[in-house]
Amino acid sequence: MDIQTILDYQSLDFEKVKINRQLAKSDEYVRYTRANEATKKSVDNVAKMSTRAAQLFAKAEEIAAQFEAASKEYDEIAGAAEGLEQDLKRAEFYDKSLESLSGKLEQLEKEASAVATELSALSKDGEAEIASANKNAALAKSCKGKVDELKAQFATKLDEISAKQRELEEKADPQLLSIYRNARKQVKSFPVIVALRDEKLCGCGIELSGAELGKLKDGEPFVTCPTCGRLVYKPQQ
């Protein structure tokens, strides 16, 4: 099997990776990417704040309803307690009820104050996030033109490389090409295919097992390194 064609194909893949890295490291692209990420983060934060604000408004309505009900009950009991100085038991019962309701009303006031404080903080933070999102969106927009120019320049180079790869695809062994492409999806760093080192080592420095080495000696084009996932081949002497 012609491994060299696959190695040449891999080299072209690596050229693509280097070109894309060059684009990704360019100042304009970095600013553009960071501005977009910052915009998305601010938008996400505003969405979370909106959700929390809706929860707080619902809680405020619930507190208001409870406060109104407790106030009404307090007024009713206070009215019923008038003129009960001679009925000590009933007067004591009403006093305790009023004391309990007074405590409840006080607690509801504290809860309402906490809700109002958090809503006020959310409003300020939301305004800051919206301002940040607008600022970063404007920055991304200002960078986009230059980024598009760079992409167009790199696209020409990438198209040239792809054309060369298509020529190799016509010559390559379909089985080997399929093996390489599958490995390419799994192995994130180059090279994906590495030569056997010192008759026993993968490119990552791991010693291959006797069974794996035996497959290469028996004519298998590649074995997969169990550690790094790279394809290992035995160079022709």
- The domain locations on the chain are 11-166, 173-237
| Distance, CA of 203 to CA of 160 (rounded, Å) | 29
The residues that bridge with 207 in the sheet, in sequence order, are 201
Q: Is the predicted pLDDT of residue 83 greater than 80, yes or no?
A: no
State pTM to two decimals: 0.63
* pLDDT, position 90: 66
Q: Where are the alpha helices (DSSP H) in the chain?
A: 3-25, 27-81, 88-171, 174-186, 210-217
Classify domain 11-166 at the CATH class level.
mainly alpha
pLDDT at 157: 93
Per the model's pLDDT, the better-predicted residue between 25 and 89 turns out to be: 25
What is the per-residue pLDDT across 138-159, written as a single tens digit (0 to 9) for each? 999 999 999 999 999 899 999 9
Q: For residue 8, is pLDDT > 80? A: yes
At residue 20, the pLDDT reads 92
- 30 band by pLDDT with thresholds 50, 70 and 90: very high
* CB of 223 closer than 8 Å to CB of 216: yes
User: Is residue 65 predicted with pLDDT exceeding 80?
Assistant: yes
Confidence of residue 82 (pLDDT cuts 50, 70, 90): low
| pLDDT band per the 50, 70, 90 thresholds, residue 170 | very high
Buried b (16+ CB within 10 A) or exposed e, 65-94: ebbeebeebbeebeeebeeeeeeeeeeeeb
Contact between 6 and 192 under an 8 Å Cβ cutoff? The reply is no
